[in-house]
Amino acid sequence: MSGKKYEYIGKREIYRRAENVLHIELPGLKELAYSQFEGCEWLESSTIKITSQAGGTWIGVTDSKEHSSEILCNYSGGVFKTHYVNGADIKRKADTEAEERLIRLLGLDLDNLGGDVEKQHKQQVRI
């Protein structure tokens, strides 16, 4: 049998992915010990445990001090599609604001931005 059996993303990448979307405050990267075993990898301190499976497409975080947990699933295109906090499905941070900005930008008449961008924006808001 040749090739790697499991894909690991490593300490820094697990921390980066978790830090960008979690509601739990993380300690510094240097305060976390890194381990891996048969397709799972994790960062751990006395109060926080960050577990990653499936090459980082699933990350679970447990904060024993605050008695809270978060699960991030379906990592694709640099974002997690699903986020659970203490078992409740939530939207990603700032997701709705980004969608609203994108909708406004897509609706602008880019060929006629010449003078009255404010007027175009007000017309779109009414729609």
pTM: 0.67
- pLDDT attached to residue 54: 84
- Provide the pLDDT confidence category of residue 60 given band limits of 50, 70 and 90: very high
- Distance from C-alpha of 121 to C-alpha of 89, rounded to nearest angstrom: 33
Q: Among residues 99, 24, 95, 98, which one has the least CA distance to residue 59? A: 24
- Measure the CA angle with vertex 48, ends 56 and 76; round to 5°: 20
- Provide the pLDDT confidence category of residue 76 given band limits of 50, 70 and 90: confident
Mean pLDDT over residues 41-64, rounded? 93
Between 110 and 25, the more confident residue is 25
